[in-house]
Chains A and B, each alone.
Chain A
Amino acid sequence: MSAPGLQGLRPWIIQRITAVYLAIFIIYFALSAPSMGTMTAGEWRAWAGSPVNTISLGLFLIATLWHAWIGVRDVILDYFPNVVARLFVLALVAAVLLGSLLWGLKALLLML
């Protein structure tokens, strides 16, 4: 925040780094997770419970939420010129994302 000209650069870069991870994980998930129609609870838990997959899922969760925050924030800044409305919607989105983070972490902690 010390360099006014650079304020938008950090989220811009984070948006792109998380995008690359999200793309890689989605392809990995599609190829390696048990297929949705036929899998059993045990197979699913075994997949999500292997250390590499638990960690990749955790990173995916964080990357998704961060990516979504930056993206939705950009959309809100475009369509809510009224400062009060803008802050309200931003806070709402932040609450949804932070809630999802806590609930998602709870899901992954079940794997430990």
Chain B
Amino acid sequence: MAGSDSRPFFLNLIKIRLPVPGVVSIFHRISGVFLFIAIPWFVYLLELSLKSDEGFEQVTRLLNQTFSKLLLIVILLSLIHHLFAGIRFLLTDFDIGLDKQQSKNTAWLVIILGIISFVLIMFGVCS
């Protein structure tokens, strides 16, 4: 560990300037945890919606509540980011987009495609 004392050692998250690929990576993880939390809720909604007509109506009413809509938006954002970032990681497994500049570009691409898809889906849902 000689000479390693001069390493910048701080875990102040605000001070750490994470590069874009790092941002994509940490949000892949955070969105993954959100999606995990959403699983039981979605399974519950799936069962209820298929059980009977009343169940289906119940799901419709539930999803029309403002709180549910907010949850759905968070889950949608998570899903979109997780999907695009996941595709990017799969490509890196095949050694595609490994050099520094490419990795930066594809990270931005994930973010931009994510925002565009989100806006398009919200437009489709609201119109």
A residues in contact (CB < 8 Å) with B: 16, 19-20, 23, 26, 36-37, 40-41, 44-45, 48, 61, 64-65, 68, 71-72, 75, 93, 96-97, 99-100, 103-104, 106-108, 110-111
- Given A19-B86, A41-B57, A71-B36, 7 more A-B residue pairs with CB atoms under 8 Å apart are A16-B93, A36-B125, A48-B50, A68-B36, A75-B32, A104-B43, A104-B46
B83 at the interface (CB under 8 A from A): yes
How far, in whole Å, are A106 and B49 apart by their CA atoms in the complex? 12
Taking CB atoms, residues of chain B closer than 8 Å to A61 are 43
Interface of B is mostly: helix
Whether B47 and A104, one on each chain, are in contact in the complex, defined by CB atoms closer than 8 angstroms, is yes
How far, in whole Å, are A16 and B18 apart by their CA atoms in the complex? 26
The list of the 9 closest CB pairs from A to B, nearest first, reads A41-B56, A107-B47, A104-B43, A100-B43, A41-B53, A68-B36, A107-B46, A71-B32, A103-B43
Interface of A is mostly: helix
CB < 8 Å: which of A20, A100, A106 contacts B90?
A: A20
CB < 8 Å: which of B29, B40, B87 contacts A100?
A: B40
Taking CB atoms, residues of chain A closer than 8 Å to B44 are 103
- What size tier do the contact residues of chain B reach? 20 to 34
CB < 8 Å: which of A20, A93, A97, A106 contacts B47?
A: A106
B75 at the interface (CB under 8 A from A): no
* A112 → chain B closest CB, angstroms: 11
Whether A44 and B50, one on each chain, are in contact in the complex, defined by CB atoms closer than 8 angstroms, is yes
How far, in whole Å, are A37 and B79 apart by their CA atoms in the complex? 19
Taking CB atoms, residues of chain A closer than 8 Å to B53 are 41
B111 at the interface (CB under 8 A from A): no
How does the 8 Å CB contact mask read for B20-33 relative to A, with 1 for contact and 0 for none? 00000000010011
- CB closest chain-B residue, reference A36: B125
- CB closest chain-A residue, reference B86: A19
Taking CB atoms, residues of chain A closer than 8 Å to B86 are 19, 23
